[in-house]
Amino acid sequence: MLADRPASQRRFATQGFATLFHKELLRFTKVSAQTIAAPVLTSLLYLLIFSHVLGSRTQVFEGVGYTSFLLPGLVMMSVLQNAFANTSSSLIQSKITGNIVFVLLPPLSHVEMFCAYVLAAMARGMAVGLGVFIVTAWFAHLTIHAFGWILIFALLGSAILGTMGLIAGIWAEKFDQIALFQNFVIMPLTFLAGVFYSVKSLPGFWQGLSHLNPFFYMVDGFRYGFFGQSDVPPLGSLLIVTATLVLFSALALRMLATGYKLRH
């Protein structure tokens, strides 16, 4: 690994990691109207529509209005979807245009590549989530019960989706396959994660099915940080989310280490 390399190569690898990370940050900050402002606007529309239709008719947690309940779910949904979009779009664009060679040629290890891509995805996810929170917090009375839980689930969730985006980007060979992954995996898992409802309101079969969805634990744990109430104890959610991150990270690192669909 990095510690086993000559000093000059270690310095180059460190600079290479920083350069790749900086490049990934520039990818979304240079077009922030598309990558940050647009998702914030979409979440605001979700909030306005759902709160108008269900706000006065639905109460999920005791003492928590539906609009307040909805807001953390929308924030987390934005974090997850945009973290996935950052890595998946970056990899597929680099593969199709051929500039992936400039990432593969330098002596960057698969761990350094993984960290640069995923950290940038986390930065985008957190930036969009913060934007959604700032814009939508005016529409509901929102308290913070435990900020630590909010932060840790946001970070872990964005890391997981950034890693999933990396896996999808490595696997895909064209934009259609990324869209397929997003439409048939990411979107269903996100919308069935309790963003707009509590899974306790579902029939028994669907409750059991929801508990197989790792996205549910990300959203539920994140929401606990605001209200101190959740469908699942936050520690249990934390263990499942952490295990999910370890599993997907191991898969992504293996794909990078072997050059799967990259070095050909």
Residue by residue, pLDDT tens for the chain (264 residues) are 444 555 545 554 578 889 999 999 999 999 999 999 999 999 999 888 877 666 555 556 667 788 888 899 999 999 999 999 999 999 999 999 988 998 888 888 899 999 999 999 999 999 999 999 999 988 887 889 999 999 999 999 999 999 999 999 999 999 999 999 999 999 999 988 988 888 887 888 888 888 999 999 999 999 999 999 988 999 999 999 999 999 999 999 999 999 998 876
| pTM reported for the whole predicted model | 0.90
User: What are the b/e assignments for 7-45, b being 16+ CB within 10 Å?
Assistant: eeeeeebeebbeebbeebbebbeeeeeebbeebbebbbe
On whether residue 186 sits in a domain, the answer given is yes
On whether residue 264 sits in a domain, the answer given is no
On whether residue 263 sits in a domain, the answer given is no
Question: Which pLDDT does position 10 carry in this prediction?
Answer: 53
User: What are the b/e assignments for 116-153, b being 16+ CB within 10 Å?
Assistant: bbbbbbbbbbbbbbbbbbeebeebbebeeeeeebbebb
Tokens coding 172: 């895909």
Question: Which pLDDT does position 63 carry in this prediction?
Answer: 72
Question: Which pLDDT does position 203 carry in this prediction?
Answer: 83
Q: Which residues fall within 8 angstroms of residue 230, CB to CB, at 6 or more apart? A: 220, 221, 223, 224, 237
Distance CA 166, CA 159 (A): 10
Question: Which pLDDT does position 11 carry in this prediction?
Answer: 53
Domain interval for residue 158? 2-258
What total of structural domains would you count in the chain? 1
Distance CA 197, CA 70 (A): 8
